[in-house]
Amino acid sequence: MMAKSSLFSIFIALLISTQCILAQTDKSTVSKLFNRAVSYSEKGDFERAIPLFKRVAEKEPENINVLYNLGHCYLNDKGGHDSALVYFAKAVEILKPENYNTEVGVDLHLSMAKSMQMLYQYNEALSVYQKILGFIDQDQTELRAMIDREITICHNGISFMEHPVKLEVQNLGATVNSSYDDHSPLVSADESIVIFTSRRKSSYSQMLPDGQYSEKIYAAKKEGDTWGQAEVVKEVVKRDSHEAAVCLSADGTELYLLRSDFDGQRLYVSEFDGDTWSEPFLLPEGINSRFNETHASINADKSILFFTSDRKGGAGGLDIYMVRKLPNGKWGTPRNLSPEINTPYDEETPMIHPNGKTLFFSSEGHNTMGKFDIFYSQMNADSSWSEPVNMGYPINTPDDDFFFVPSAAQNRAYMASARFDGVNGGSDLFMIAYEEPLTDRLAVVKGKLNVGKDFAWDNVLIHVKEKGTDAIIGEYRPNPVSGKYMFILEADKTYDVVVEGKDIEKTTSSLAVTRDMTYLNQSQSVEIDDLMVTGLVAEKNADTKENAEQNTAMATGKYTVQFVTLKKPLKNYNRYKNLDDSKIMPYKCTDGNYRYVYGSYNTFKEAKESKQEVAKITGYDDAFVRYFWQLEKMKAKE
């Protein structure tokens, strides 16, 4: 999933190239074994490559190329760093000093030092790096600069390990985790649902050369104090691609995902209507580009999106970008967070905290203790960023550390790891708790707008301001059917909650958030009384279901119901004879598929009622509500 662009990489193609030359031997079977092992290694299937390389090593125990490849396999296999060091050290011992300053000699020493780092043997690695500096030429400036950086990384590691962070770790359990790699946990602000990516076996995934299955997205709901059984989110499945969930909005209604296919790595969003996730929709140009976009994170009121891209013009490799939503609902122009956040190396997995001010991210730069480390930075009032702070050991390790997902409680987060106790196999999902901050406690506040009768809330906004100021803390949209909303607010403050929109008069109420309401004192969230909206405009001005249905044969409304996607167009609607065929509209789309939608509705409530009717008539339980503007974007030119 992750792109890498560091100057030093243990994935040196030379080490596994079929151009490696075995010592002269009359045994052709040894050569065949070696070539088979190389083939598996190139595919990342180290589990099959290692036994074959070992069989070759039994025949030629002092063949440096074989030892070299065995070390490489173990270095990249889970839990194999100690074995990697054994083979690299043996190869270095055999290597003649006059061959130290050769490509193979330098790479062997670098790989040995890297193995030591992975085993937390920083002092031993420092000795090897100093040895390399002693035998390479002075004019090898790029190599010297890379080694100097690795020496700095070793000193960082020593320092962080001398001052470890206190952690409590809890495995999410066998109902969530599997014997395969499970990663990228995402939780709603009230922690009622977790969505994650898994490489487990299922009817939706395919076996890959590395022995695991293609990535698919799963979800589990909280049942009391435990998690329910994880199930695949079938609405977002695309069989011929990797799919990874990268962000879940605080209210749990927007799921951002990464798809890797023949078109590259691009970002999509799916929306939850209360029952069903919609078909993922490609995020617009500006966010997506002809380069790779690998991750996204949206703030609590959905007004700011952070994402990663390796597009031109950045600081180097993957950079983090930020884009604000405009008053018209469209996204503005993204800006690079360099130079405070981005470095010449890769930055990945940005996660904005529910407070909207703290950005967690992974970076190969800054003061990392090895590979990707997790950092955080605070957004200043002028949208600049504070100097990133390393989260410390053992949150960070010499290996890649990604995807630190903060909860509303500022001392608790979710992450995936293979290094904690109790792992079911591969990497598992964990909840971790660390030292509690004394300030800026947050409350997850749930409520509901109420006009005393049924009402469509599509065109209503809720502005939250700190009392006595005009600064908007957040702009929220209530659920268009139920009127429910969720705020994430700092404690020990009083806020003005302003409700305004079509068909209602502006209503202002006061909300005091006390420390007793905070996340650490409530199980997940606090619910407040209904917020009564007054001054409802006379119904004659409101769009009713009757006048909405007058135009359902044409796309005049805001919403529709998509009920089927096909590779070939339908010749007739006989199979849907119980549906009103005057409301069925076909869309031939740019991806070659034909999407069929039903009806045109001005309110989400009407569209959802129609969806339930369509599901009942057709038997399709994956019909969903979507916007017409999305279909127009996807529509193929005539």
**Can you tell me the distance from the alpha carbon of 607 to that of 57, in angstroms, rounded to the nearest whole number?**
67
Measuring CA to CA, which residue among 369, 365, 325 is closest to residue 348?
A: 365
Backbone angles phi, psi at 504, to 5 degrees: -135, 155
Burial classification of residue 298, based on how many CB atoms lie within 10 Å of its CB (0-12 exposed, 13-18 middle, 19 or more buried): buried
What lies within 8 Å, CB to CB, of 437 at 6+ separation is: 410, 411
**433 contacts 472 by C-beta, under 8 angstroms:** no
pLDDT of residue 187: 94
CB atoms within 10 A of CB 611: 26
**Can you tell me the distance from the alpha carbon of 423 to that of 418, in angstroms, rounded to the nearest whole number?**
6
Helix (H, G, I), strand (E, B) or coil at 290: coil
* Cis omega (within 30 of 0) for bond into 97: no
Read off the tokens for 173: 């359990």
CB atoms within 10 A of CB 574: 8
The string of DSSP letters for 441-510 reads -EEEEEEEEE-SS----TTEEEEEEETT---EEEEE---TTT-EEEEEEESSEEEEEEEEETTEEEEEEE
Q: Which residue has the tokens 């560091």?
A: 6
CB atoms within 10 A of CB 24: 5
First to last CA, the chain: 36
Helix (H, G, I), strand (E, B) or coil at 634: helix
**535 contacts 504 by C-beta, under 8 angstroms:** yes
CB atoms within 10 A of CB 458: 22
pLDDT of residue 437: 54
Helix (H, G, I), strand (E, B) or coil at 104: helix
- Which helix (H) or strand (E) is 360 found in, with range? strand 358-363
Q: What domains appear along the chain, each with residue ranges and CATH number?
A: 13-162 (1.25.40.10), 168-433 (2.120.10.30), 442-541 (2.60.40.1120), 545-634 (3.30.70.1070)
Helix (H, G, I), strand (E, B) or coil at 128: helix
CA 554: distance to chain centroid?
38
Beta-ladder partners of 485: 447
Backbone angles phi, psi at 187, to 5 degrees: -130, 145
pTM of the model: 0.85
pLDDT of residue 123: 97
Q: What single-letter amino acid sits at 563?
A: F
Q: Which residue has the tokens 């040895």?
A: 131
Residues of the chain with confidence (pLDDT) below 50 = 1-26, 438, 521-522, 538-553
Beta-ladder partners of 510: 496
**Can you tell me the distance from the alpha carbon of 612 to that of 615, in angstroms, rounded to the nearest whole number?**
5
Helix (H, G, I), strand (E, B) or coil at 63: coil
Radius of gyration of the chain from its Cα atoms, rounded to whole angstroms: 28
Beta-ladder partners of 490: 442
pLDDT of residue 12: 41
pLDDT of residue 555: 64
**Can you tell me the distance from the alpha carbon of 133 to that of 138, in angstroms, rounded to the nearest whole number?**
9
- Which helix (H) or strand (E) is 526 found in, with range? strand 526-527
**154 contacts 125 by C-beta, under 8 angstroms:** yes
**398 contacts 369 by C-beta, under 8 angstroms:** yes
Q: Within the chain, how many helices (H) and strands (E) appear?
A: 11, 33
* Alpha-carbon torsion (57, 61, 64, 68), positive or negative: positive
Measuring CA to CA, which residue among 558, 477, 446 is closest to residue 190?
A: 446
**617 contacts 571 by C-beta, under 8 angstroms:** no
